[in-house]
Amino acid sequence: MDRFSELRAFVDVVEAGSFSGAARETGQSRSSVNRLVIALEERLGVQLLHRTTRSVSTNSNGRALYERAKQILSDLEEVELSVTAARRVPVGKLRISAPHSFGDLDFSDIVAGFLKQYPQVQIEISFENRLIDPVTEGYDLVIRVAEPDEETLLVDHRIMTLDYLLCASPAYLKEHGVPKTAECLKEHHGLSLLQSEQSGFWGLLGPDGPVKVKVRPVLRANTMDALLKAATEGLGIAVLPEYAIRSDLEAGRLEKLLSSYQLPSRMLQVIYPPARHLSANVQAFSDFVSDWCSR
């Protein structure tokens, strides 16, 4: 028997809660559905379902197989659709992992814009700062900010280079003074991201070469939004990406500091397992993020 047919029948039975329900949903006979599930259990050598006269439920083996089977069938469907010219419209679930810092600022606008353009897609987003393995954790794609030359074994869609700036509010600078050199930063209040190499030290490239300055963070947070709010409220000096503070610089709520120094840039990337490169959902979202950032 076709192994995919067995898996489909098993998933249909679990989701319908009975063999007769699965048969009605799929237009098959109850005996055909039952025969496919029995063949699957015999081939695997384990029982997958608890059966009663009225309903069925999964045991531990069945629950484990159900999640994997759904993903396998979803992948198969996407591969089939990807080579069918008439069906390139993204549809179905898209699981995304992104850093906490993308939970605010513009990322919500990107997701909203994508869903308006592709209303048949359902997005699940998890915001985490830890390093995510999309293969083992079941994500379709991962948004991450990494070193420009950092390599990965996954498919790496590089979106844009992020330039970082030192900034503070006019009120803070009026009270604490404007730092003239990197060494002066030691005397100031720092605002830093948690779980960042910049949290305890700020590395800069100045007129005389690289310099590493130990800072006194009065606030460490895991979102850029919290640091941006603290900076505009005059609580200290922050290192933030230029795109995130552009409007505040233009409005005079923040001022750029130490223009003769440069901070290390980072790369905004969309990464995903090689098996997902045919996914219409993944390709559409990657392209949408790229187009949004270019605008």
pLDDT tens digits, residue range 162-188?
889 999 999 999 999 999 999 999 999
Cβ neighbours, 10 Å, residue 151: 8
**Cα separation, 69 vs 57, whole angstroms:** 16
pLDDT in tens, 25-57: 888 888 888 889 899 888 889 899 988 777 788
Two domains, one topology: 92-162+267-294 and 164-264: yes
Class of domain 164-264: alpha beta
170 contacts 255 by C-beta, under 8 angstroms: yes
Contact at 8 Å (CB) between 30 and 20?
A: yes
Residue for token digits 């909203």?
Answer: 112
Whole-structure pTM over 0.85, yes or no?
Answer: no
Mean residue pLDDT across the chain: 84
Question: Which residue's structure tokens are 């850029």?
Answer: 224
- Which residue bears the tokens 């901070």? 263
From 1.10.357.10, 3.30.70.2470, 3.40.640.10, 3.40.190.10, which CATH number describes the 92-162+267-294 domain? 3.40.190.10
Angle between helices 60-82 and 280-294 (to 10 degrees): 60
Q: What phi and psi, each to the nearest 5 degrees, are found at residue 220?
A: -125, 125
Q: Which residues contact 112 (CB under 8 A, 6 or more apart)?
A: none
A 10 A CB-CB count for 192 gives 22
In this prediction, residue 254 carries a pLDDT of: 96
- pLDDT at position 86 is 43
CATH of segment(s) 3-63:
1.10.10.10
Neighbour tally for 273: CB within 10 Å:
20
Residue 27 CB contacts under 8 Å (≥ 6 apart), including other chains: none
Q: How far apart are the first and last CA of the chain?
A: 52
pLDDT, residue 118, reads 92
Low-confidence ranges of the chain (pLDDT < 50): 85-86
Q: Which has the closest alpha carbon to 1: 46, 40, 51, 53?
A: 40
Report the 10 Å Cβ neighbour count for 62.
21
The string of DSSP codes covering the chain is: --HHHHHHHHHHHHHHTSHHHHHHHHT--HHHHHHHHHHHHHHHTS--EEE-SS-EEE-HHHHHHHHHHHHHHHHHHHHHHHT-TT--S--EEEEEEE-GGGGSTTHHHHHHHHHHH-TTEEEEEEE--SPP-HHHHT-SEEEEEE-TT---SSEEEEEEEEPEEEEE-HHHHHHH----SGGGGGGSEEEEETTSTTTTEEEEEETTEEEEEE-EEEEEES-HHHHHHHHHTTS-EEEEEHHHHHHHHHHTSSEEE-TT-BPPPEEEEEEE-GGGTT-HHHHHHHHHHHHHHH-
* Residue spans per domain, the chain: 3-63, 92-162+267-294, 164-264
Given this model, what pLDDT does residue 115 score?
A: 94
Neighbours of 87 (CB within 10 A): 12
